[in-house]
Amino acid sequence: MKRVFLLFFLWAADPIFVKAQSDDGLAYGSGEELKYIVSYRAKLWPNTEMGIVTMETSSETVNSIPTLRIRANATMMGMFRWFYKLDDTYNTWISRQTLLPILSSADIREGDYRFSSYFNYDWDDMMVQSRYRNHRFPEDTHKKMALVEGCMDGVALFYTLRSSDMGTFALGEERVLNLLLEDTVRQIRYKYFGPEQKKIPGLGELNTLKFSCQLVTSSGSGFEDGSEFFLWVSNDRNKVPVYVESPIRVGSIRARLESYKNLKYPEDGVLQ
């Protein structure tokens, strides 16, 4: 399910950094809720809904700083919980004044595997303190890394840069991005395909913007074969991801927006 989170977060990681001075111009606000259904499909296997991803925003104060807290969670559905236990949770706190993340955490629970990580950002010195651990081992690993402008964890990138100006995207243009992970920075290559009418199960025909993304290998030597995925985002001021499709070795993983609440711009008409 970690791959599913990347599908949602990477589309918005534009290297053109958002220079907002407050959250007035954001594409989202406190109280927004998004729910996605994740499914698997193969040539001889019907589309099977297996997981749920939820994303919620709320207002919190951290160290006297007013923030927007973003919580993302992924779980398995119904009978699939009997075969594979999964509970992945991500939290990020973004300053409402600077739109920069100040804290981030992840707790991955998949079967017998558990992994946790934390980021503490220092934008004055352009550094981030990282702490992470595979829970098979008793001790955390600590690392201090330099930041480059616009480099953040995936959740922060997604929610901060949902508000970027789509007018800066040229049709067919490819760009390379930076994603902060627990102990490194990984590059992503993405391409903008332009507006497209997309039929979303349960939501009907929507006006969307189409993107593709591809993650560089952990060695940084190139882009992984088969790692490209496609994403459709609502073509309005909310810029909500509405559909994702990611080919894998056998079949594909898909995610569709099932429900939403408290969009900042409900009057735009793409999602009503």
Question: Residue 190's pLDDT is what?
Answer: 78
Q: Pick the residue with more confidence: 228 or 198?
A: 198
Nearest to 9 by CA among 118, 115, 156, 120: 156
**Is residue 216 predicted with pLDDT exceeding 90?**
no
Nearest to 88 by CA among 69, 66, 114, 119: 114
**Is residue 46 predicted with pLDDT exceeding 90?**
no
**Is residue 262 predicted with pLDDT exceeding 90?**
yes
Overall average pLDDT of the 88-95 stretch = 93
Overall average pLDDT of the 52-69 stretch = 94
- Binned at pLDDT 50, 70 and 90, residue 217 comes out as low
Question: Residue 23's pLDDT is what?
Answer: 61
- DSSP letter string over 180-220? E-SS-EEEEEEEEEEEEEEEETTTEEEEEEEEEEEEBPTTS
| pLDDT cut 70: percent of the chain above it | 81
